[in-house]
Amino acid sequence: MTDDVKVADKTDSLTDLKETDEDLRLPSVVEPAHFPVETIDTEARHQTPAVGQRATRPDGRLHGLGQTKYIDDITFPNMLFAKMKRAGISSALIKSVDTSEAEAMPGVAAVLTGREIPVNSYGPSYQDQPVLADERVFHAGDPVAAVAAVTEQIAEEACERIKVEYEPLEPVYDPVEAMKDEIRVHPPHSNIYATKRIKKGDLEKGFAEADRIFEGVYSTQMIEHVPLEPHASIAQWDPNGRVTLWSSLGRITLGRADIARTLDMPINKIRIVGTIVGGNFGGKNEITTEPALALLSRKTGRPVKMVYTREEEFIASTTRHPFIMEYKTGVTNDGMITARKVRLVLDGGAYCSWSETTLGKACILSAGPYNIENLLAEAYCMYTNKTMTGAMRGFGAPQVCFAYESQMDEIAHKLGIDPLELRMKNAFHEGSASPTGQVLQSVVVKDSLEKAAERFGWKEDGQ
């Protein structure tokens, strides 16, 4: 009987029904469903080196479609919104914090103060910054309490109802004044919290060899990064005692260690999801609100989101260090630099943040790209009762560049030498030694200067 059945046909039909591995496999990257999936496939994607090739960014399309998910575009069920109460006073002792009225407000889920934070200090170099100020306020942007509520508006209103009693202290704002240590920002510690000194050759001999000595003081202002996306984070504490943080933080590994320290828990219980960052420029290199949000999430059992307002970006995130730069330079009448003495005073604001790195780089680069045999560069970073300063594009290099190039122009003008020629005479060449003794290779300063001068018509402009 079975002979009548066509086995081959059966097998065929079964093959049709069976899904192959290939059919079951999901695409490794899920394509956005509602938009064209074909991408511009440039040659640069297929070969190395890509220099000289036209390249597109792999994330460019979603940016342009408005489909990139930044923190503020992410929502979780039952999510709360946090706001922080800012001190508004630059130096004071905190006598008391009364949160009762805020806690009683409908819609407020939890209020957090500094005393509830297991280890209330953090920072990438020195742990001198409180998550929420508890005993003392160091600058006006310091947060003194955090509120999680069902809407941002309620959280904000609750912050206004938190009563903080301060005992005002005399602040210090001028970094040069702060050097005297008469008013200390972080007593008993000195305001001078980082220094660097670079010495090369014989300074006195160098100045003695000079025909002319030029002295000048240059200063730069505080600058905020202004990333278009403000700092933002979401924390979700789970019942296993672990916390997941979605954060606009640029350095998530470092942030994880800092969060573990402040929460006094093992690092393996902290998970950070680094999302696409809407501009960093150095300003998102350290944690800000994350530990407070984690604790608010623990208190409420709900996810908690906080996004800085633009105002908070200016008063409560890091900024670029203002510099005061004293330059003394000895030159011969034909424009050769014989000696340079540099003294840098960095206004570090209330907390160290990345000041040490900034100070180091600024000091090393303070002599400029010039062969100077006799050099002394000294740099000091100072605490003041102002918004903290930290990493920003160049770590101090742009500030000193402004000073030494301004002085080069003054020297050229006074000696009657073409500014370009003065730089060509003194600029690094192949094998020049940097102020710290590093022998430099692939040096193209002079070629770059010449090419630039030619391209923008320096000579023709009648300089």
Partner 1 sequence: MTDVTLTINGEERSASVPPETSLLRLLRDEFFLTGSKLGCDVGDCGACTVIVDGLPVNACLMLAGQVDGRDVVTIEGLATLEDLHPIQKAFEEFASLQCGFCGPGVIISAKGLLDRNPDPTKEEIKDALSGNLCRCTGYTKMIEAVQDAARILRGEKEAA
Closest to partner 1 by CB, 64 or 266: 64
62 touches partner 1 (CB under 8 A)? yes
57 touches partner 1 (CB under 8 A)? yes
Task: Say if CB 323 and CB 223 are below 8 A apart.
Answer: no
157 touches partner 1 (CB under 8 A)? no
Q: Where are the beta strands (DSSP E) in 220-281?
A: 223-224, 232-237, 243-247, 270-274
Task: Say if CB 321 and CB 356 are below 8 A apart.
Answer: no
Closest to partner 1 by CB, 133 or 316: 316
Q: Which of residues 10-39 bind partner 1 (CB under 8 A)?
A: 34-36
Closest to partner 1 by CB, 72 or 209: 72
Closest to partner 1 by CB, 62 or 417: 62
CA dist list (Å): 320 to 215, 238, 283, 336, 385: 25, 37, 9, 33, 15
Instruction: Give dist(CA 246, CA 255) in Å, integer.
Output: 12
204 touches partner 1 (CB under 8 A)? no
314 touches partner 1 (CB under 8 A)? no
CA dist list (Å): 170 to 87, 137, 346, 353: 15, 12, 21, 23
Q: How many residues bind partner 1 (CB under 8 A)?
A: 38
263 touches partner 1 (CB under 8 A)? no
Smallest distance from partner 1 to CB 55, Å = 7
Smallest distance from partner 1 to CB 84, Å = 16
Instruction: Give dist(CA 355, CA 365) in Å, integer.
Output: 15
Instruction: Give dist(CA 403, CA 342) in Å, integer.
Output: 10
Closest to partner 1 by CB, 59 or 447: 59
Closest to partner 1 by CB, 257 or 276: 276
Instruction: Give dist(CA 298, CA 117) in Å, integer.
Output: 12
- What tokens appear for 281 in the block? 């420029």
Helix (H, G, I), strand (E, B) or coil at 73: helix
Smallest distance from partner 1 to CB 73, Å = 4
Q: How many residues does the chain have?
A: 463
Considering only CA atoms, which of 329, 327, 370 is closest in space to residue 345? 327
User: Who contacts 96 (Cβ-Cβ below 8 Å, separation ≥6)?
Assistant: 163, 164, 165
53 touches partner 1 (CB under 8 A)? no
Applying CB under 8 A, the span of 98-106, 172-180, 226-234, 338-346 interacting with partner 1 comes to 226-234
- What tokens appear for 29 in the block? 């990257």
Smallest distance from partner 1 to CB 118, Å = 32
Site string for partner 1, 275-304 (x = CB under 8 A): -xxxxxx-----------------------
Residues that bind partner 1 (CB under 8 A): 34-36, 40, 55-57, 59-70, 72-73, 75, 153, 225-230, 276-281, 307, 309-310
